Amino acid sequence: MVKSTYVLIDDVATDHTGALTEIDNFNRVEYGVVQCKITSTGTVTLQGRTTSNMPWLDIITFTQDDGRRVTAFPEMRAVSSGVSGGPIRVEMRF
């Protein structure tokens, strides 16, 4: 089984929209695990969509360090807001 880890936001200390990440779902799994590290204060919203022709959908929101199992979309990104006091990092693994 091939395991893939994607960094959706890398130590961002301001409000930020992460780059579009195309998920190579070699194992054809429906779910991945996302973990969020919020050093001080902020909100992270994980978003996904099927193609660039579709709008972004909010999947889950984090306000503190946490990890969850989430539905895997072909295109994903993380959006941080209200960030102050320290960086945020978001990773997803299949």
pLDDT tens digits, one per residue of 76-94: 999 999 999 889 999 999 8
For 47-70, write each residue's pLDDT tens digit: 999 999 999 999 999 999 999 999
To the nearest whole percent, how much of the chain has pLDDT over 70? 94
Position 62: which residue type? F
Give pTM, 2 decimals. 0.89
Residue 20 has φ and ψ, to the nearest 5°, of -60, 130
pLDDT recorded at residue 28: 72
Identify the structural domains of the chain with CATH numbers, from first to last. Answer: 5-93 (2.60.120)
